Amino acid sequence: MLTHQVIKSIVTNVIKGQDYRNEIVDRINAVFLDFAISFFKEVVTAKLSSKDISEDWYRKTFLSEDLDKEKIVIHSGLNMKTVTNMYNSGTKSVCIDAANTHYEGLSSLINTLIEEDPEINLSLTIKFREVSVELNLNESLIVINTLAVKRSAIRGGFWSSAGKQAEKILMKTLCGLYQVPSQYFCQLDNPDSNREVDFFLTTKTGARLRCEVKLMGKGNPESADAIFARESHIFIGDKLSDKVKQQCKELGVKWVELRNENGVGFQDFGTILQDYQIPYTPFNKDLDTELSRILKEISI
């Protein structure tokens, strides 16, 4: 989960036509580096505790059934989403079986690669409190793979969280800038949708308009898919490709590109409110001041 301050910073940057991604990338880096340091400490302890040279100390320690299922899965080189997709279950017993099966396959693959190219030589030395351990090629690749999988999981979690948390605040903020009365916009839990929240604007005549918000770049096709899947009337995005804009035009969907070439894409939201005859007040105030005021009032 992202902090309230990070979410507010993301919304502020997007509405001002600035890139928001550094906020998330910084958090990803911080969490990953914290994990990496802790993981290296655990590797040192596990390696030193192994008295039998033939013992698979990594498997014994990091795939132990005493650990949480999420840790077991990550340590094996998988992530929870992959396990649930493969086995249609995320119970601990399933996770343990999946982790062990994958670990065996990964270890076998590494051994095969080493045998096929014996000239490859890599060792990883980890030093902690004047004590150091050296990992051979096999062990090093296992550890490196775990780090790669963990970073991927952290990255996916943060980007998903950014969408779920920031998009609803963004919509509230846009409505706040144009002082749209609360009875003319709402968020509803929709059991027919895969998303937690759908946004609706209501016209003076009572027509309800579905709004789709996506904080995604030009190259992500999911943005366009959302228009088709949910029959949106209004589409709001960070950056929109020419293809998405053309699809919006063909479908009769009005769109707002917040980070457009002019840097004031949010103003197109006011035009849409006017076109649909949704009550609003034209925006002519200082943007920074209003953003700060509105975001203080919105609970996250």
Sign of CA dihedral 279, 285, 288, 290: negative
pLDDT value for 191: 44
pLDDT value for 216: 67
> Which element (helix H / strand E) includes 27?
helix 21-49
Query: Which residue positions in the chain have pLDDT lower than 50?
Result: 190-197
pLDDT value for 94: 97
Residue 145: which of 62, 29, 41 has the closest Cα?
Answer: 62
pLDDT value for 228: 59
Q: Mind listing the pLDDT tens digit for each residue in 51-88?
A: 777 789 999 999 999 999 999 999 999 999 999 999 99
CA distance 166 to 147: 28
What one-character DSSP code corresponds to residue 285?
Answer: S
Beta bridge partners of 213: 236
Beta bridge partners of 255: 235
pLDDT value for 194: 43
Residue 61: which of 171, 178, 138, 143 has the closest Cα?
Answer: 143
Q: Mind listing the pLDDT tens digit for each residue in 4-48?
A: 888 999 999 999 999 888 889 999 999 999 999 999 999 999 999
pLDDT value for 54: 75
pLDDT value for 196: 45
pLDDT value for 107: 94
pLDDT value for 161: 83
CA distance 154 to 221: 22
Beta bridge partners of 257: 237
pLDDT value for 150: 96
pLDDT value for 218: 62
The runs of H, that is alpha helices, within 67-196 are 69-76, 80-87, 92-116, 137-177
For 289, the token pair is: 């001041």
**CB atoms inside a 10 Å sphere around CB 125:** 9
* Average pLDDT value over all residues in the chain: 88
pLDDT value for 168: 87
pTM of the complete model: 0.80
